[in-house]
Amino acid sequence: MNLVLLGAPGAGKGTQAKRIEENFHVLQLSTGDMLRAEVRSGSPRGQQADALMKAGRLVPDEMIVGMIDRRLDRDDCRGGFILDGFPRTLAQASALDEMLAKKGLKLDTVLSIDVDDEAMVERISGRLTCANCGEGYHDSFKRPKIEGICDVCGASRFVRRADDNAETVRARLKEYHAQTEPIIAYYDKGGLVRRIDGMRSIDQVTAQVTSALKECVRAG
Ligand code: AP5
Ligand code: MG
């Protein structure tokens, strides 16, 4: 199964993608994670992306499209993939259609996680991630079972993202509404979109996602 996860910053794409990976054995491809790895490596691409990400702006389409195009050719994508954070502009959506057609692949569904703007700032400002395995947490909504220890790998160092501050979140939300939201209508025309109410608890969102994906599998 190949799917796109759409949703504003902080909607829960990463949180749900990890659970879809486990439940449906498909691979998460997060363009945000790929770019943060490039920034850490200090590559020219990372340096170009760093300033834009810190300002809450999108990086150029050509950079992202090339990254995804190369990534989809790797063997670990054969069992299916979740595109988390891509496409984010209409140009990226149409580039994705072209590249999938060339590779003989198609999208099975597009899940749109819908969340009110007011919830985003609270979610993003409380987010923290295990520095070792990348498991995501939240100061209020998802705390580790043992304070200060990652549930998954037992590490004790957590990090916060450089773009997770109120000012940058507002810029990211603006980009989302201007550039990314129109993609929902683009995919709606092809009947691919399933809407998910992202204002529920994390587990309730997972339940909706799971039933949408089971329905997608049944529909073949
Ligand atoms: P990216 O990393 O994709 O960030 P984003 O889209 O802003 O989304 P987030 O990762 O912040 O949120 P999420 O939806 O994954 O939420 P999460 O599950 O973590 O992109 C970063 C930057 O990279 C962009 O700004 C851009 O510059 C660049 N970029 C990336 N892709 C690009 C592209 N294709 N084109 C151009 N530029 C690109 O959840 C958030 C928090 O809320 C967590 O703490 C979580 O525990 C909590 N939470 C989750 N669900 C719930 C719930 N239901 N109830 C309560 N709390 C919840
Ligand atoms: Mg994310």
In this structure, the strands spanning 158-159 and 193-197 are unpaired
Q: Where are the alpha helices (DSSP H) in 25-165?
A: 31-41, 44-54, 61-72, 90-103, 117-125
Per the CB < 8 A criterion, the answer to whether 123 and 164 are in contact is: no
Catalytic annotation on 71? Answer: no
Catalytic annotation on 88? Answer: yes
Q: Is the CB of 206 under 6 A from ligand 1?
A: no
Tell me the one-letter amino acid at 68.
I
How far does residue 181's CA lie from ligand 1's centre (Å)?
15
Per the CB < 8 A criterion, the answer to whether 104 and 50 are in contact is: no
Q: Is the CB of 170 under 6 A from ligand 1?
A: no
- Which pair of structure tokens corresponds to residue 147? 């304070």
Q: Is the CB of 121 under 6 A from ligand 1?
A: no
How far does residue 73's CA lie from ligand 2's centre (Å)?
22
Q: Is the CB of 65 under 6 A from ligand 1?
A: no
Helix (H, G, I), strand (E, B) or coil at 171: helix
**CA-closest residue to ligand 1 atom 39:** 12
Q: Is the CB of 31 under 6 A from ligand 1?
A: yes
pLDDT at residue number 121 = 87
User: Which ligand places an atom closest to the C-alpha of 114?
Assistant: 1
- Residue 135: which region, alpha, beta or left (left: phi > 0; alpha: psi -120 to 50)? beta
- Which pair of structure tokens corresponds to residue 208? 């909706």
pLDDT at residue number 107 = 96
Catalytic annotation on 127? Answer: yes
pLDDT at residue number 23 = 95
Q: Could you tell me the pTM of the whole model?
A: 0.95
Along the chain (220 residues), what's the average pLDDT of each consecutive run of 10 residues? 96 96 96 94 94 95 96 96 98 98 96 92 91 93 95 96 88 95 95 96 97 92
